[in-house]
DNA sequence: TAGATTGTTAATCGATTAACAATC
DNA sequence: TAGATTGTTAATCGATTAACAATC
């Protein structure tokens, strides 16, 4: 671990960012946190929370590793990157580790999001209860179709697109969950950015190109399906259960 | 490229599987195709189809690389693994390459799938038009709620769960798209396997454990959200647009 | 104490990128 | 022919795993 960017390994509840030298010459950006590490975090958190709920006090990487089928050392490093720290023999205190991971992921207090596009998918995400566990609060939806506008059965509101910019400004919502038809995606995404939103969770099949500063994350069903269908068509030969790599805790 | 498992690099429209030595002593399974390669395939195919539709005849890896922001050599290797082959100076013929990739992914002729759980998410996937491009035909949905059973506005049918096993047998459908509540997921997934289905595309937040032979692919929203929210909360520091790794072509 | 476990440094492994000869 | 491009072998890079000293 020779790199200089891993300095403040130990801030109590959150390693603030993957950039140790944010004060350096802006020359080159320091390497960000490895994506595989970030992807494993939710699995850790889910398990740790479940164990904490069962009344458990501490965990070791060995426990986690067994439960998840991963290498203990890998987990140790991941937890370190997330700002967790444990003690020899006993392991990590759940009461410290869980908040550390939550803080690290930015899931400590919910951030708010708007769903854009109130079709079936948009409504599914608008109403999905599971996001609360992931620090996400979906507060409302927007749609251009006047018939969709109003209040849903579950008490969430659907606004006309024309109100987006105004509500983004007033409420300070930074995250858009994009659920419009593929053909409209690029234009709508640009509108979201123009309205002041910073993050786009893209559930459409379109690949977006967006201005500086926007963060896009695609739920790419085609990718996922490629793995699944390839493995499915070749699973006869290769004995045994074969688990494709995962792609996203869901509705 | 020293390994013995890459023998039949050249079957015309599909390298049949990642297992060169399926006839070997069953001792150890030969390494499967790299998942990153598989994940990039849909992006290639999408672009190639678009260019073919524009009337283009051939492409070079350089073209693809520029369009996708990848290294040309990487693409060359990927295409090779998928059974594509080109000519120096001219590149790859689209009329050969597109079917090669389609065959490789198993997207040449649609395979059929059932949606399990006819909530908003299930209906979104049942009606999504984009799957046709990915070799997937969603033929019907199943739900335990009698109020959901019937024919949807778009002419697709929703059957009671009790009919699942019978219809799986009669129609030979192998793939289940799981859209039930998280708490029901494990039991329903087992029922799908018991009914004879082989592949599970898991859109729930539950992590499933299934019998030998079942292929599971998760759409793991938590993973995806972890990347997005972490990057979002640290994007101020690191200048520039930051594109999270993708996770799935979608509704 | 003895042993489980952390933190850390070194080795391995696999995927990406670079280099280059072959070819149309 | 000259030059773009493929196919392929070697080098790099990053992530995972192994080894081990420190510690409670």
pLDDT tens per residue across span B192-208: 999 999 999 999 999 99
Smallest CA–CA distance, residue A108 to chain B, in Å, is 11
Q: What is the reported pLDDT for A239?
A: 45
Going from the C-alpha of A46 to that of each of B70, B107, B222, the distances in angstroms are: 34, 35, 10
In whole angstroms, C19 C1' to B60 CA is 19
Q: What is the reported pLDDT for A244?
A: 59
Residue B29 has what DSSP assignment?
Answer: P
CB contact under 8 A, B29 and A238: yes
Band of pLDDT at residue A23, cut at 50, 70 and 90 = very low
Q: What is the mean pLDDT of residues A120-135?
A: 97
For a pLDDT cut of 90, what percent of chain A falls above it? 76
Neighbours of B139 (CB within 10 A): 15
**Chain B neighbors of A213, CB-CB under 8 A:** 235, 240-241
Q: What is the reported pLDDT for A234?
A: 76
Cα separation, B113 vs B4, in Å, equals 35
Q: Which residues of B98-112 are buried (b: 16+ CB within 10 A; e: fewer)?
A: bbbbbbbbbbeebbe
Q: What is the reported pLDDT for A24?
A: 37
- How much is the mean pLDDT over chain B? 85
Residue A114, strand partner residues: A140, A176
Radius of gyration of chain A (CA): 21
Q: Report yes or no: B242 and A215 within 8 Å, Cβ to Cβ.
A: yes
Q: Which chain A residue's Cα is nearest to B113?
A: A229
Q: What is the mean pLDDT of residues A86-96?
A: 97
Band of pLDDT at residue B212, cut at 50, 70 and 90 = confident
Q: Report yes or no: A190 and B216 within 8 Å, Cβ to Cβ.
A: no
Band of pLDDT at residue B236, cut at 50, 70 and 90 = low
Higher pLDDT, A47 or A251: A47
CB contact under 8 A, A127 and B120: yes
**D4 nearest neighbour residue (CA to C1'):** B89
* Residue A36 approaches strand C within 7 Å at CB: no
Q: What is the reported pLDDT for A31?
A: 54
**D22 nearest neighbour residue (CA to C1'):** A88
Burial class (CB in 10 A: 0-12, 13-18, 19+), A8: exposed
Residue A115, strand partner residues: A141, A177
Q: What is the reported pLDDT for B32?
A: 76
Q: What is the mean pLDDT of residues A197-209?
A: 96
- Does residue B17 surpass a pLDDT of 70? no
Backbone angles phi, psi at B92, to 5 degrees: -105, 140
CB contact under 8 A, A240 and B111: no
Q: What is the mean pLDDT of residues B74-97?
A: 97
Q: What is the mean pLDDT of residues B29-50?
A: 89
Q: A77: which nucleotide lies closest, measuring CA to C1'? A: C7
Q: What is the mean pLDDT of residues A161-175?
A: 98
CB contact under 8 A, A39 and B226: yes
Q: What is the mean pLDDT of residues A94-113?
A: 95
Higher pLDDT, B211 or A248: B211
- Does residue B249 surpass a pLDDT of 70? no
* Residue B62 approaches strand D within 7 Å at CB: yes
Interface of A with B in 212-231 (CB under 8 A): 212-231
pTM: 0.87
Q: What is the mean pLDDT of residues A184-209?
A: 97
CB contact under 8 A, B223 and A248: yes
Q: What is the reported pLDDT for A9?
A: 30
Strand C, nucleotides < 7 Å from a protein CB: these are 3-9, 14-19, 22-24
* B107 half-sphere exposure, CB direction, 13 A CA radius: 26
**Chain A neighbors of B22, CB-CB under 8 A:** 237
Which residues, other chains included, contact A127 with Cβ-Cβ below 8 Å and sequence gap of 6+? A152, A154, A156, B120
Cβ-based contacts (< 7 Å) between A 166-195 and strand C: none
Band of pLDDT at residue A64, cut at 50, 70 and 90 = very high
Q: What is the mean pLDDT of residues B110-132?
A: 97
Query: Which among B225, B232, B249 has CB closest to A198?
Result: B232
Closest CA to B113 of B207, B217, B34, B205: B217
* Residue B209 approaches strand D within 7 Å at CB: no
Q: Which of B132, B184, B250 to mutate to test the interface with A (most CBs of A within 10 A)?
A: B250
**Residue-wise pLDDT tens digits, B65-78:** 999 999 999 999 99
* Residue B35 approaches strand D within 7 Å at CB: no
- Does residue A113 surpass a pLDDT of 90? yes
Tell me if residue B240 falls in helix, strand or coil. Answer: coil
- Does residue B97 surpass a pLDDT of 70? yes
- Does residue B3 surpass a pLDDT of 70? no
In whole angstroms, C16 C1' to B25 CA is 32
Q: Which chain B residue's Cα is nearest to A47?
A: B207
Q: Given CB atoms, is B250 within the 8 Å cutoff of chain A?
A: yes
For a pLDDT cut of 70, what percent of chain A falls above it? 81
Cβ-based contacts (< 7 Å) between A 44-73 and strand C: 59-63, 72-73
Q: What is the reported pLDDT for A16?
A: 40
Interface of B with A in 30-89 (CB under 8 A): 32-33, 35, 38-39, 41-43, 46
Band of pLDDT at residue B15, cut at 50, 70 and 90 = very low
- Does residue A91 surpass a pLDDT of 60? yes
Neighbours of B170 (CB within 10 A): 9
Q: What is the reported pLDDT for B234?
A: 76
Band of pLDDT at residue B31, cut at 50, 70 and 90 = low
- How much is the mean pLDDT over chain A? 85
Interface of A with B in 102-161 (CB under 8 A): 104-107, 111, 119-121, 123-124, 127, 130-131, 134-136
**Residue-wise pLDDT tens digits, B143-169:** 999 999 999 999 999 999 999 999 999
Cα separation, A216 vs B241, in Å, equals 9
Q: What is the reported pLDDT for B244?
A: 60
Cα separation, A118 vs A180, in Å, equals 8
**3-state SS of chain A?**
CCCCCCCCCCCCCCCCCCCCCCCCCCCCCCCCCCHHHHHHHHHHHHHHHHHHHCCCCEECHHHHHHHHCCCHHHHHHHHHHCCCCCECCCEEEHHHHHHHHHHHHCCCCCEEEEEECCCHHHHHHHHCHHHHHHCEEEEEEEECCHHHCEECCCCCEEEEHHHHHHHHHHHCCCEEEECCCHHHHHHHHHHHHHHCCCEEEECCCCCCCCCCCCEEEECCHHHHHHHHHHHHHCCCCCCCCEECCCCCCCC
Band of pLDDT at residue B233, cut at 50, 70 and 90 = confident
């Amino acid at each position: 671990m020779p790199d200089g960017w891993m300095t403040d390994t130990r801030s109590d509840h959150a390693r603030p960012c993957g950039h140790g030298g944010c004060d350096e010459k802006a020359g080159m950006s320091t390497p960000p946190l490895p994506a595989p590490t970030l992807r494993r975090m939710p699995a850790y958190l889910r398990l740790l929370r479940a164990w904490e709920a069962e009344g458990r006090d501490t965990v070791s990487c060995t426990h986690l590793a067994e439960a998840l089928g991963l290498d203990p050392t890998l987990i140790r490093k991941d937890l370190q990157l997330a700002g967790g720290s444990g003690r020899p023999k006993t392991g990590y205190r759940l009461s410290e580790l869980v908040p550390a991971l939550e803080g690290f992921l930015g899931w400590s207090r919910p951030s708010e999001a708007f769903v854009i596009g109130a079709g079936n998918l948009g409504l599914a995400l608008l109403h999905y209860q599971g996001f609360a566990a992931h620090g996400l609060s979906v507060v409302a939806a927007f749609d251009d179709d006047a018939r969709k506008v109003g209040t849903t059965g579950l008490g969430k509101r659907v606004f006309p697109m024309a109100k987006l910019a105004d509500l983004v400004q007033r409420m300070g919502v930074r995250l858009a969950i994009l659920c419009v038809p593929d053909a409209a995606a690029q234009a709508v995404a640009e509108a979201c950015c123009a309205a002041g939103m910073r993050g786009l969770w893209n559930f459409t099949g379109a690949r977006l190109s967006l201005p500086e500063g926007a963060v896009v994350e695609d739920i790419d069903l085609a990718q996922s399906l490629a793995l699944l269908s390839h493995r499915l068509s070749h699973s006869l030969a290769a004995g045994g259960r074969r688990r494709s790599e995962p792609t996203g805790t869901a509705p």
